[in-house]
Amino acid sequence: MHAIRVASAALLTATVLTLTIPPASATVTGDENNSNVTSFGFRVTPSTIAAGGQVTLSVDGCEGDTKVTSGIFDDAHIPKGQTTTTAQVFWDAKPGAMYEVTFDCKGEIGKTDLTIATGRPDDDGRRDQGHQPPAQKGVKAGVGGSLGGLDLHEIALGSALILGAVGTAYYKSRRRTGENNS
Task: For residue range 117-176, list pLDDT tens digits in order.
Answer: 886 444 444 444 444 455 555 555 555 555 556 677 888 888 999 999 999 988 888 765
Asked if residues 95 and 114 have their Cβ atoms less than 8 Å apart, the reply is no
pLDDT of residue 61: 87
Least confident range from 3-12, 19-28, 163-172: namely 19-28
Which H or E run includes 14?
Answer: helix 2-20
Amino acid 27: pLDDT: 42
Residue pair 50/88 in contact (Cβ under 8 Å)? The answer is no
CA gap 123, 126 in Å, rounded = 7
Q: Which three-class secondary structure state does DSSP give residue 56?
A: strand
Percent of the chain scoring above 90 in pLDDT: 23
Are 68 and 78 in contact by the 8 Å Cβ rule? The answer is: yes
Is the pTM for the entire model greater than 0.85?
no
Do 76 and 56 touch, CB atoms closer than 8 A?
no
Q: Where are the domains of the chain?
A: 41-116
The domain 41-116 is placed in CATH, from the list 2.60.40.1840, 1.25.40.10, 2.60.40.10, 2.40.128.20, at 2.60.40.10
Judged against a pLDDT cut of 50, whether residue 31 lies above it is answered with no
d(CA 72, CA 89): 6
In this prediction, residue 139 carries a pLDDT of 56
